[in-house]
Amino acid sequence: MSTYNFKKISTVPASKDFVDIILSRTQRKTPTVIHKNYKISRIRRFYMRKVKFTQQNFHDKLTTILTEFPKLSDLHPFYADLLNTLYNKDHYKLSLGQLNIARHLIDKVASDYTKLLKYGDSLYRCKMLKRAAMGRMVTVMKKQGPPLKYLEEVRQHLSRLPSIDPNTRTLLLCGCPNAGKSSFMNLITRAEVEVQPYAFTTKSLYVGHTDYEYLRWQVIDTPGVLDRPFDEMNTIELQAITALAHIRAAVIFFLDTSEKCGVPLDQQLCIYKSIKPLFANKPLIVVCNKADIINLEQLGKESPEKRELVAELERDHVPVRQMSTITHEGVMDVKKEACDSLLGMRVELKMRSRKAESILNRVHVAMPAPRDNKKRKPFIPANVLKAMENKKNAMETESTDKPRKKLEKDLEEELGDDYSLDLKKYKDLMVEEWKYDKIPELWNGFNVADFIDPDIFKKLEELEKDEEEREKNGFYKPDIKEQDEATRKIHQLALKIREKIKINWINRQLDRPGKKAVMSRVTSKRARERSVSRLRNEFSELGVDMSDVRGTNFTRTRSTSRGPPLKRTRLRSEAMTRSYSRGPSRDVSGVRDVEMADKMKKLGRKAQKERNFAGRKGEGDRHIYDLKPKHLFSGKRGLGKTGRR
């Protein structure tokens, strides 16, 4: 199999969660009550069912884990070596083997205790056997904690691996760290690999895809490799070695001739020589990156020794190309050459295979042989030739008469950095100046911006000043002197009423409970704000006849206090301060004695308690009135379904 969908592997629970899941399912899916009229045979079946059900759930869950995790023998060698590099295949096999052993042990425990339950002679003995069977199963699973935890970590890491097809058309990028592999991959593919100016930014394999010759190509970016033996390499470097060893691809080896990566050029060539055996039977291109800093010609002038090292590769018939991922110089040429070389190799291999021979045997390609030595030119009618000549002459005259219109691309090439895209110059308007108006809205063939008065704000200021002067001079005030006596009195009364309404509104705001200030007892006594005489004077000033108002409602005064009269309260307070032993009389309090009054207060507080509690409830409060409703938790159960448990 070329690819494997590691993301479909189900989650591996911890040992404690594993046991909780299985036991909970057993409790929910099997009967839970034994009635006193059950026979011993039915009791045995009851507990045997629980043991078998638990064993089957353990077996199914462990089988799912063992089947979903890939077997190294069934995988492609690339994936098998990659798993060995990342997780150590010995630990991986041991973990799966321990789960397999646990599955067999659980099956054996269930089989043994089922046989014992067949001969259980009492309910208690059957119950204890069931309990022992489940206890042994749980003990076996609790010992599988480390393998389950390890497999869950492997599953999480496998799900994050890229989906690599080892058999498809592939470009493999390798070289020393920080040589420009990820930058090249971002340019030719739609991938977005992180690029940073330090070594080992890429710590795992990254996959991108590109198109060439109407075919889909796979590009693999590998981590950087250092100059050391294979047995001293770390996990990051071994991923690149695994990809080079098992994937048949076009290899692009990157050299940094500027040595900005921190690795000298001779060490980079040592890396090339150390992994050169992995390039066998694969198309190879050596790319000298960062040509914008220093190219091969400048390298030959500055350091001929380093140029000679690169020349050795050319003498070994290895194609050496220059490239810059900053200026994009030579990027597409490298891609084209690598793809063409890989396509040629794949076609050659297919032609060598037996499959190609079997296809060619069934396909007949006719190759006609010439019957004489005459050269026969293609026949073209005379009218067609004449039409072609006329068209050609017309195109030539048109090209000579009219110069070609400059396009935006030509302007951009001429101006360079000074070029800015101007789309307004192509607008077709009656006046050229209208093209760059801020509001180029047209109505009936005219620009709306032409109808806006530029002095509108000055005229508005003049109008506002004129209005202010008129208000100061009293232009808008009515002339009361010219009006008759009745109208003037009405105006005066209306002014007084409006003023009184404002005063009353202010008094109401001051008398509000939340706004009223707390006065200390030491302050002097204030004059009364409301009185009958004051009300009579104010209404008489307003022109209301107040001569005959005796017996009206506002002239009758009454006490505003809600309690008993002042004399009675004073006597009561004096009696309470002198001695509290004597209780209040029946006609005053309505109770017999002090004890009865205290009891009445307690009863009142107790009765009010529930109302106070309910009064604090909000819209978000929830209350379950009965945790165990009687209709669900009383009576005998029938012989029907027990699914609700």
The predicted structure's pLDDT at residue 577: 46
Domain boundaries, the chain: 6-157, 166-355, 425-475
Average pLDDT over residues 115-143: 94
**Quick one: CATH architecture of 166-355?**
3-Layer(aba) Sandwich (3.40)
Instruction: Read off the pLDDT of residues 1-49 as tens digits, 9 standing for 90 and up.
Output: 345 678 888 899 999 999 999 999 999 999 988 888 899 999 999 999 9
Report d(CA 619, CA 549) in Å as an integer. Answer: 54
pTM: 0.51
- How much of the chain exceeds pLDDT 90, in percent? 26
Alpha-carbon distance values, 495 to 35, 489, 509, 535, 554 (Å):
95, 10, 22, 19, 25
What is the mean pLDDT of the segment spanning 553-574?
52
Tokens 């005998």, residue located: 636
pLDDT reading at 571 higher than 60: no
Residue of higher predicted confidence among 87 and 174 = 174
pLDDT over threshold 50, residue 352: yes
Compute the 3-state secondary structure of the chain and give helix, strand, coil in percent, each to the nearest 5: 55, 5, 40
**Which residue, 243, 118, 270, is CA-closest to 181?**
243
Q: What mean pLDDT comes out for the span 318-332?
A: 89
Please give the Cα distance from 610 to 608 (Å, whole number): 6
Identify the residue whose tokens are 């914008």.
292
Which pLDDT score is estimated for 250?
Answer: 92
| Mean pLDDT in residue range 469-485 | 73
- For residues 66 and 99, the answer to whether their CB atoms sit within 8 Å is yes
Residue 567 — pLDDT band, cuts 50, 70, 90? very low
209-239 residue pLDDT tens: 999 988 999 999 999 888 888 888 888 888 8
DSSP string, 507-548: HHHHHSTTTPPPPPTTSPPPPPS--HHHHHHHHHHTT---SS
Of 200, 236, 222, the closest CA to residue 86 belongs to: 236
With contact defined as beta carbons under 8 Å apart, do 319 and 283 qualify?
Answer: no
> Residue 516 pLDDT > 70, yes or no?
no
How does pLDDT run across 409-450, given as a tens digit for each residue?
888 888 888 888 888 888 888 888 878 877 656 777 777 767
573 confidence band (pLDDT: 50, 70, 90):
very low
Taking all residues of the chain, what is their mean pLDDT, rounded to a whole number? 82
What residues form DSSP beta bridges with 286?
Answer: 253, 320
**pLDDT confidence band for 392 (50 / 70 / 90):** confident
Q: Answer yes or no: is pLDDT of 587 > 80.
A: no
- C-beta of residue 288 within 8 angstroms of C-beta of residue 255: yes
Please name the helix (run of DSSP H) or strand (run of DSSP E) that holds residue 497, with its range, or none: helix 485-511
Q: Answer whether 6-157 and 166-355 agree in fold.
A: no
CA angle 514/519/521 to nearest 5° reads: 145
Give the phi and the psi of residue 173 in degrees, each rounded to 5: -100, 125
Amino acid occupying residue 228 = R
pLDDT class for 619, splitting at 50, 70, 90? Answer: low
Does the structural domain 6-157 have CATH classification 1.10.540.10? no
